[in-house]
Structure 1
Amino acid sequence: RGAPRWPSGTPLPVALTGWPRFFQSYAVEVDVKDASNATCLYAEWMMRFLIKYETNSSDYKNTTLHLSSSVTHNGSVCGNDTQAALLAVQFGEGHSWSINFTKTNETYQGDFITFTYNTNDTAVFPDAKRKGPITIVVKDIMHPVQLNNVFVCHNTDFVEAENVTQIFWNVTVQAFVQNGTISKKESRCHADTPTSAPTVPPTVANVTTASTTTLSPAPTTAPKPVENPDTGNYSLKSGNKTCFLATVGLQLNVSRDKPLLININPKTTSADGTCGNTTATLKLNDGNSTLISFTFVVKNASASVQKFYLKEVNVTLLNRLNVISNADNNNFSKWDAYLGSSYMCRKEQTLEINEDFQVHTFNLWIQPFLVKANKFSTAQECSLDDDSILIPIVVGAALAGLIAIIVVAYIIGRRKSYAGYQTL
């Protein structure tokens, strides 16, 4: 096995502009050589990691770990019929990522992904409670690829496990390269089309866009408003028991150069997250372009009467260049209810993430703690749904109107009563 090397010497930098909280990202290219200096494993891809970690104050924060301009590739191996191929990279302050590929008679595929992040990197993990390397191992989502084919996926894939979301895009990889030559035959991921390119935007459900196929000028009519999103039902389990229930319609409002409304389609959205005694997180992935997470905490955990509330919302969005924008607000104090009950709000609510991102909720019913028998407990309704306040308002308005009518009638009656008399 020959030592792996970088063909171009360094990773390829890609500047990201035009969205909030952008970081510089790097396309990694690795060309592993065998003993005869022929290519045996080739890969080029982009990736980023969203990580939730605990701080010294027992709060949880979200952070983004991205590849730096300095990446090494120690430990990568070619593999053969009996040994798995290994693609391994190291970057930043003690972070590393690797994937191994196994081979059958006619196909190869990714087996396991191993990711290690180091919370001693204070620039990425300020005030981390747990110090040192943390390793997670997850099953790869790559489907079997025909031998002597190169796997290509320009669209974005997500892998979530243990408070870590791994995000990959613009992937090109071939394991067990034959005769040292990268194949011209491509096996595309399901999200790609045969003609897709890195600049093709991901499909966004229920987004109204202007047509680009009309030859004549489009009529100057008002844009059709985006309808309210469909309501989805989501749940999390701890073992065999349901520990988190949520029913909600979600709409993302992005206010940049051109406002954009994105309805989250519950039919294509999957739920993941964590349940705990004092903290619970629901992560929703619409499978195309959006990740939204909601974190709830218990207020005054030591008090005899406890309440929970929404503390943090994180939004990750892919724009038209498959570039990732991340917005987070961990200073909420909303949707509070007594522990053991649920929270309900049928009317539309708006969560301000930052100046560019808003999340609108519809038909919300949520219970992040103490779910029993897979059912919502008694709900505490929001003030927007409380119609009881309208009763005194209506009664008061009616009384005021009646008094006004009586006063006017009295004044008119007095004027008429004086009309038939003359001064003597």
Structure 2
Amino acid sequence: MASANSSVFLLITSIILISSTNAVNPPGNYTLPIASSTLCFAARFDLTFNIEYLKLDGKTNISRIPLNNETFQYYTGDCSKANSHQLTIGMLDNLTSITFYFDLNEKNQTSLKQVSVSLTIKNNDYFPNCSDNVGGSYVFLANESLFITDLSNSYRCYSKIKIDNFQSKSNVTIKSVDIENLRIQPFVDEKITFNDYAKEKVCTMDTFKSSTLIPIIVGACLAVLVVVVLAVYLVRRRRYRNGYQSV
């Protein structure tokens, strides 16, 4: 009996260790070169794939795949070109990768110019009951002009940004790549030690949220104040009436 219990314990321990080994936490910041104090690139963000594919029954399904410790595998990148940087993130047991291409133009403005997704679809937890016709590897491209800011600045956007102009291929479509909680700075000056992101340019959606939030807060405070004043008035009026009746 003791031997059987020991075997069960060892089996459970092995499963836990294997699961812990396969789980890789995404970094707080994607920095290039990796583990260097002098950087050429820095970014942090949340990312989610929304992929539509054909199922065995002929219907379509949308698989939502977030970038987290269950899907993240690695990241790498390249800053060797003076006017072009790239960041690549590998996911899903190295079956999927996404590469962001950043550009520095003649006006010394940086921006995201293109997104490339390499995707392998097979019948697994992420693409359950996928049709035999859609199994295989695909490459999707989307040309963009996002995160535009001056070279000396970083770019910040906590709001959700949808990259959704990928082309469809053989009953497979990337409906969108959603990015949020973004802070990014390509083309960092490698001559100095990187301590923090430079002065930020804030996206329009974040600015709009901030500008609309203040009136809402002020309005809510005024509403509470009116309720309090009215309550005090009613209480004092009731006390006055009670005092008058007792006389």
Q: Confirm or deny a common fold (TM above 0.5).
A: yes
Pairing of 1:107-146 with structure 2 (within 5 A):
107-120=109-122, 122-129=124-131, 130-146=134-150
1:35 positional shift: 11
Distance 1:73 1:211, change over 3 A: same
1:52 positional shift: 1.2
| Partner residue in 2 for 1:104 | 105
Distance 1:35 1:50, change over 3 A: closer
The whole-number CA distance in structure 1 between the counterparts of 2:209 and 2:200 is: 11
Structure having the higher Rg: 1
The 8 Å contact of residues 67 and 92 in structure 1, kept in 2 or not, is answered as no
| Partner residue in 2 for 1:80 | 81
1:134 positional shift: 2.1
Is 1:213 aligned to residue 221 of structure 2?
yes
The 8 Å contact of residues 157 and 206 in structure 2, kept in 1 or not, is answered as yes
Calculate percent identity across the aligned residue pairs.
Answer: 16
For residues 39-76 of structure 1, give each alpha carbon's deviation from its aligned partner in whole angstroms, at most 9, with x where no partner exists: 11111000112121001222211221112305344441
The whole-number CA distance in structure 2 between the counterparts of 1:53 and 1:153 is: 30
What secondary structure does 1:148 align onto?
Answer: coil
Pairing of 1:278-293 with structure 2 (within 5 A):
none
1:116 positional shift: 2.5
Q: Is there any run of 5+ residues in structure 2 with no aligned partner, and where?
A: 1-23, 229-247
Q: Is there any run of 5+ residues in structure 1 with no aligned partner, and where?
A: 1-8, 13-27, 220-424
Match of 1:190 among 204, 210, 215: 204
What letter is aligned with 2:135? K
The whole-number CA distance in structure 2 between the counterparts of 1:57 and 1:210 is: 54
1:121 positional shift: 5.5
| Partner residue in 2 for 1:165 | 176
Higher relative contact order (CA 8 A, sep 6+): 2
The whole-number CA distance in structure 2 between the counterparts of 1:123 and 1:35 is: 33
- Give TM-score, length-normalised by structure 2: 0.65
For residues 176-199 of structure 1, give each alpha carbon's deviation from its aligned partner in whole angstroms, at most 9, with x where no partner exists: 101342443111111112995xxx
What letter is aligned with 2:221? T
| Partner residue in 1 for 2:50 | 50
Distance 1:125 1:209, change over 3 A: farther
The whole-number CA distance in structure 2 between the counterparts of 1:50 and 1:35 is: 31
1:174 positional shift: 0.5
1:165 positional shift: 1.3
Distance 1:210 1:185, change over 3 A: closer
The 8 Å contact of residues 34 and 40 in structure 1, kept in 2 or not, is answered as no
Distance 1:59 1:11, change over 3 A: same
1:132 positional shift: 2.1
Pairing of 1:210-249 with structure 2 (within 5 A):
211-214=219-222, 215-218=224-227
1:119 positional shift: 1.3
Structure having the larger proportion of residues in helix: 2
Q: How many residues align?
A: 187
Distance 1:180 1:137, change over 3 A: farther
The 8 Å contact of residues 117 and 135 in structure 1, kept in 2 or not, is answered as yes
For residues 234-269 of structure 1, give each alpha carbon's deviation from its aligned partner in whole angstroms, at most 9, with x where no partner exists: xxxxxxxxxxxxxxxxxxxxxxxxxxxxxxxxxxxx
Distance 1:92 1:115, change over 3 A: same
| Partner residue in 2 for 1:10 | 25
The whole-number CA distance in structure 2 between the counterparts of 1:126 and 1:34 is: 35
The whole-number CA distance in structure 2 between the counterparts of 1:121 and 1:79 is: 38
The 8 Å contact of residues 110 and 149 in structure 2, kept in 1 or not, is answered as yes
Pairing of 1:59-74 with structure 2 (within 5 A):
59-69=59-69, 71-74=72-75
The 8 Å contact of residues 111 and 145 in structure 2, kept in 1 or not, is answered as no
What secondary structure does 2:68 align onto?
Answer: coil
1:210 positional shift: 11
Distance 1:36 1:42, change over 3 A: closer
Runs of 4+ in 1 over 6 A off after TM superposition: none
What secondary structure does 2:65 align onto?
Answer: strand
Is 1:151 aligned to residue 155 of structure 2?
yes
The whole-number CA distance in structure 2 between the counterparts of 1:50 and 1:119 is: 13
What letter is aligned with 1:61? N
The whole-number CA distance in structure 1 between the counterparts of 2:31 and 2:227 is: 50
Pairing of 1:14-25 with structure 2 (within 5 A):
none
The whole-number CA distance in structure 2 between the counterparts of 1:92 and 1:174 is: 26
